[in-house]
Amino acid sequence: MAPKGEIRTVAGLFLKLGFTAFGGPAVHIALMRRETVDKRRWLSEQAFLDLIGATNLIPGPNSTEMAIHIGYLRAGWPGLIVAGVCFIVPAMLMVMGLAWIYARSGSLPQVGWLLYGVKPVVVALLAHALWNLGRKAIRTPIQKAGFAVILAWYFLGGNEIALLLVGGAALAMGSRRGGPAAAAIPIVAGKLPYSLGLLFLKFLRIGSVLYGSGYVLLPFLRRELVERTGWLTETQLLDAVSVGQFTPGPFFTTASFIGYLLGGVPGGLLATLGIFLPAFCFVAISNPFLPRIRESQALGRFLDGVNVASLALMGGAAWQMGKAAVADAACAGIFAAAAFLLFRRDASSTWLIAGGGLIGIAVRWLS
């Protein structure tokens, strides 16, 4: 049984990240690395890389699974549950609150000014994480060449799972190891009768089979909730996805928004439980096998290859986010300042995100 102090420490860290981790899975992982590798020394760079590789090999939301893995390693079974719940619940509550507003007004609050300044900071955090992780994972000429090939394949539209598996195998062969009322928006007349039980099962199925980034969630949701059941309109679905993008924490809390629209608070809670429950199960099953994978020379080389492929995918996501986030001179200035403070001063990521948001509001207001 883990000491209560360790459980409280795990809870405090992941509650903080749940309230402040904007920017999607790659940024969440970058923030977790700063907190658990750089600041707290809970994990080595290699151990953190191994967790990234492991989460990429199982279905579910990668950053949430990273939180669950870290909680388990730090505080055992209680830590596994506490870390995941504390990372998910803040975002779920924010998303359901916005769903309550949306259900009554039919529109979403405008947060563009805040995100204008946060996004360049997020890109700087990604660059910092990639630099530090890359120095550990990408050492040999074969690994460097593999990173470049996988990155190019990613930009050409390669499937993420194929990139991880094929890239990992190829690099392994070439390497040698050394409260509120129900929603007011009406449910669309559906092709299937709506029920809370069926809502839960649909999100449980999605959480059990969905690989890749959070953006892969959109076609799954559209097929299940717009085309097959008719429970949502296209507009409602896109609004739900937008909420998942501009709130902190896991992108999969889009399910909380949809569940609330369809069934009020019970619907929001059941949809959230359904989509995240498989992640807890997959981590609980896979975590004990990580030491055995690392001890095996063949499997260890494969995991090293998956780590390189994972960093290539993170690099591709960082580049695409950077093109969108650093859109003008003011954004470039925010990015440069954040990068300087990270690389030279080891500044707090939380304060950088808060500062970027305030600068974004000020710049937009003055313009």
Cβ–Cβ < 8 Å for 96, 23: no
Tokens of 196: 């809370």
- A 10 A CB-CB count for 124 gives 29
Q: What was the pLDDT predicted at 184?
A: 42
- A 10 A CB-CB count for 118 gives 26
- A 10 A CB-CB count for 4 gives 10
Long-range contacts of 134-139 (CB under 8 A, 24+ apart): 134/311, 135/45, 136/45, 136/46, 136/49, 137/49, 137/304, 137/307, 137/308, 137/311, 138/308, 138/311
Lookup result for tokens 């403070």: 341
Confidence band, pLDDT 50/70/90 cuts, at residue 185 = very low
Using left for φ > 0, alpha for ψ between -120 and 50, and beta otherwise, residue 24 falls in left
> What tens digit of pLDDT does each residue of 243-294 get?
776 688 888 898 999 999 999 999 999 999 999 999 999 999 988 887 777 6
Q: What was the pLDDT predicted at 186?
A: 46
Q: What was the pLDDT predicted at 11?
A: 96
Looking at this protein, which amino acid is placed at residue 50? Answer: D
Q: What was the pLDDT predicted at 326?
A: 86
Mean pLDDT of the chain: 83
HEC profile for the chain?
A: CCCHHHHHHHHHHHHHHHHHCCCCHHHHHHHHHHHHHHHCCCCCHHHHHHHHHHHHCCCCCHHHHHHHHHHHHHHHHHHHHHHHHHHHHHHHHHHHHHHHHHHHHCCCCCCHHHHHHHHHHHHHHHHHHHHHHHHHHCCCHHHHHHHHHHHHHHHCCCCHHHHHHHHHHHHHHHCCCCCCCCCCCCCCCCCCCCCHHHHHHHHHHHHHHCCCCHHHHHHHHHHHHHHHCCCCCHHHHHHHHHHHHHCCCCHHHHHHHHHHHHHHHHHHHHHHHHHHHHHHHHHHHHHHHHHHHHHCHHHHHHHHHHHHHHHHHHHHHHHHHHHHHCCCHHHHHHHHHHHHHHHHHCCCHHHHHHHHHHHHHHHHHHC
CA proximity to 221, closest of 210, 212, 213: 210
Q: How far is CA 47 from CA 25, 222, 341, in A?
A: 18, 37, 26
Rounded distance between C-alpha atoms, residue 37 and residue 136, angstroms: 13
Rounded distance between C-alpha atoms, residue 284 and residue 298, angstroms: 23
Confidence band, pLDDT 50/70/90 cuts, at residue 176 = low
CA proximity to 262, closest of 241, 236, 238: 236
Tokens of 329: 């001179």
Of residues 13 and 169, more confidently modeled: 13
Cβ–Cβ < 8 Å for 66, 52: yes
Of residues 101 and 16, more confidently modeled: 16
Q: How far is CA 209 from CA 57, 201, 202, 276, 317, in A?
A: 12, 13, 11, 12, 22
Question: Is the pLDDT score of 91 beyond 60?
Answer: yes
The structure's pTM equals: 0.69
Q: What was the pLDDT predicted at 64?
A: 93
CA terminus-to-terminus distance, the chain:
56
CA 325 to chain CA centroid, Å, is 18
Rounded distance between C-alpha atoms, residue 246 and residue 110, angstroms: 10
